[in-house]
Chain A
Amino acid sequence: NAGVMQNPRHLVRRRGQEARLRCSPMKGHSHVYWYRQLPEEGLKFMVYLQKENIIDESGMPKERFSAEFPKEGPSILRIQQVVRGDSAAYFCASSPPRTGKETQYFGPGTRLLVL
């Protein structure tokens, strides 16, 4: 059973470019969460999505950041016009349909470096 997959694992962008981060949840999981880890800090919740729906985006910066989880294909975290402060590790987690207190399974992360 493949775990949560993220790609690319490393991404380098220049200021002003766009960054697209992809997350494929575990098989059978329909819930996806994105977290950001700034250098020397813990992970901070950004957004929670179900298929075709954003459920909670309270941790997402209001500008330049967007997320989607289409009916087919991976979840995408998109950062437009990146700035140096966006440099961080971005982790995706997935969980199965809600039946109780499920744990979230984390992917290996995408490390974004903005030059």
Chain B
Amino acid sequence: GIQVEQSPPDLILQEGANSTLRCNFSDSVNNLQWFHQNPWGQLINLFYIPSGTKQNGRLSATTVATERYSLLYISSSQTTDSGVYFCAVDRDSGGYQKVTFGIGTKLQVIP
């Protein structure tokens, strides 16, 4: 099956700093999503981004499908950004989209 690798596995940031999270995938995909899992375990969809660039406030994401990677940018980080960031890709599997998650990047933003 498809492999999804995320880096770095862990990241500690000072509040206000910027960061880039990376997601590499081993095969062509139909869709890619970025999720934030907060410290209470809730999964929040950040971006649905099969290709191109999207921005939402301090977050933006870029997917280069032809080179099989996606980047999530966090600018001016805040303590509320702490949690785990997952990349998840969809592949067409017999007529439906099978989602494969990476193992995540654990982010801690300290004041």
A45 lies within 8 A of chain B by Cβ: yes
A98 lies within 8 A of chain B by Cβ: yes
Knowing A56-B94, A101-B31, A102-B97 are in contact, say whether A42-B45 is a contact too (CB < 8 A): no
A interface: dominant SS: strand
Residue of A nearest to B30 (CB): A101
Chain A, interface residues (CB within 8 Å), range: 20 to 34
Chain B, interface residues (CB within 8 Å), range: 20 to 34
How many inter-chain contacts with C-beta < 8 Å in the A-B complex? 55
B41 lies within 8 A of chain A by Cβ: yes
B60 lies within 8 A of chain A by Cβ: no
* Residues of chain B with a CB closer than 8 A to A41's CB: 103
Among B30, B98, B102, B103, the residue within 8 A (CB) of A45 is: B98
Which residue numbers of B lie inside 8 Å of A, CB to CB? 30-31, 33, 35, 41-43, 45, 48, 50, 86, 88, 90, 93-104
Which residue numbers of A lie inside 8 Å of B, CB to CB? 31, 33, 35, 41-45, 48, 55-56, 89, 91, 93, 95, 98, 101-106, 108-109, 111
